[in-house]
Structure 1
């Protein structure tokens, strides 16, 4: 039986010594890992440690200054446009926010129309209007099913405004919108932000189901779930790096290989002082420049702050 070319199939993601620098210093540096197609990758670390910038770099939205990465065989940063075509963003504050004044139905229709207009084949545009409408509805229904968003359970059904959605419902809607494009790579920021333990478990179960269905998932979080491939941007000392490397090798996905970055540059002045006492890698001036402000500046340069 011939495979359906529209069926989602995950993108392998490889990073080796990846680093991104803003006007005030390194946002992240020496990031390395390997994730196979259909892997669930958790980018873990505190706010301000470069998690969002790493997510945007791996989806072709920000340009790294050092190292090498590949997504679905497309090298970064040389083929950023190609990576953008195979990846899709779920919720990323300041980049892909939901409009609180629009309803759920309006968001879904808008995304489906844009998808058909810019990504559809020319032959598809020549089909009868009724056939095109049915194909669009089928694509929306498939995305809703994969995201677990039940429109009938919402206060006003599909006419519910985004401002009236619960945090988990808004997350499911953002995921559904991203899946309408049938991406090979799905990326989300702040996955576990403001979620109760029960909702957090549901969110990770959702992302695991998407990965199991074949789409590779990159998710920024404060704490990686068990079984995910853990990539950390958290500041650490040389002694911490040794311990964490062993932990990451254990927690890595069965289909992925986690190579932790031993020379991660610290992101706070206080941690930089501790790290310089344990290992002399970079100069003190360079370490002190890698701050939360560096991440904000890097985002501002792209017009996404």
Structure 2
């Protein structure tokens, strides 16, 4: 991977409001490059919308933020170029039908197609393949995923991965593009205490490489810079309405009230991404 250059994250009175209520508001932060940032709060409290807004995938409606010197909401596309998404349910899920090797090759292909300099496409095929393999190996090392430990090594199906292994794979794919900011949703979802400790250790190691990390969680570690979201007021509907305003549909909002709580944060996110651009 290229040498990482972490992105600073700054925000003042940052907020996103939908037709019937706030997804989040009053967010303030001043984090240096290479920081570990935790978005803490219960499911449905605006955590995912905040993550998507700070990575240029959702348009805020109040205040402003700067990521890597790019001001939001004016420079959303520039922020998207330097901010990579790790696991975000309903937005960039791993393909359960692929093997781990296939998922990694697909990620490398997409990164080369969208993120690599044009001149790199002119290299001989063998050179491009070797470069992709080296990039994948470096990303796997950074994510702490040893393919040899998987049941069928690189031929292991993505659907057969344990939750923490899936997180590591998603992080590896995100790191292929040498981002300045890595963002992950629901980091501690379905993880045991031991696995949660390992997951935060992984993110600390990524931050130690100079990459700023932004992770949504239910409980932040003591050494993280914490952004807290609050449960919704009953009279101020959940963030689904804000997601709908940012690009969702009426059916997206209606479905929010009927699905499991762990998915509440991400409804409407697909449509928001479609409007804002490629994840």
Confirm or deny a common fold (TM above 0.5).
yes
Aligned to 2:270: 304
Higher deviation after alignment, 292-301 or 12-21: 292-301
Aligned to 2:97: 101
Distance 2:86 2:62 in 1: 26
User: Please, what TM-score do these two structures have when normalized by structure 1?
Assistant: 0.80
List aligned pairs for 1:231-250, cutoff 5 A: 231-235=227-231
User: Of 108, 122, 125, which aligns to 1:126?
Assistant: 122
Per-residue deviation, 1:24: 2.0
Q: Cα deviation per residue 1:51-79 (whole Å; 9 max; x = unaligned)?
A: 00000000000000010100000000000
Distance 1:224 1:194 in 2: 15
Distance 2:206 2:245 in 1: 30
Aligned to 1:222: 218
Highest CA radius of gyration, 1 or 2?
A: 1
Matched, 1:268 2:233: yes
Per-residue deviation, 1:296: 5.6
Per-residue deviation, 1:125: 1.3
Per-residue deviation, 1:299: 6.9
User: Of 276, 290, 294, which aligns to 2:241?
Assistant: 294
Per-residue deviation, 1:303: 5.5
Per-residue deviation, 1:155: 0.6
Distance 2:189 2:245 in 1: 22
User: Of 39, 53, 56, which aligns to 1:57?
Assistant: 53
Distance 1:40 1:148 in 2: 17
Q: Secondary structure at the residue paired with 1:49?
A: coil
Contact 1:50 1:295 in 2 (8 A): no
Q: Cα deviation per residue 1:175-197 (whole Å; 9 max; x = unaligned)?
A: 00100011000000000001000
Q: Secondary structure at the residue paired with 1:20?
A: strand
Q: Any unmatched runs of 5+ in structure 2?
A: 249-267, 272-279
Aligned to 1:148: 144
User: Please, what TM-score do these two structures have when normalized by structure 2?
Assistant: 0.87
Matched, 1:191 2:155: no
CA pair 293-60 structure 1, distance change in 2 beyond 3 A? closer
Distance 1:171 1:65 in 2: 31
Per-residue deviation, 1:268: 3.0
CA pair 186-115 structure 1, distance change in 2 beyond 3 A? same
Distance 2:240 2:75 in 1: 28
Per-residue deviation, 1:297: 3.5
Aligned to 1:114: 110
Q: CA RMSD in A?
A: 1.5
Distance 2:33 2:172 in 1: 20
Q: How many residues align?
A: 252
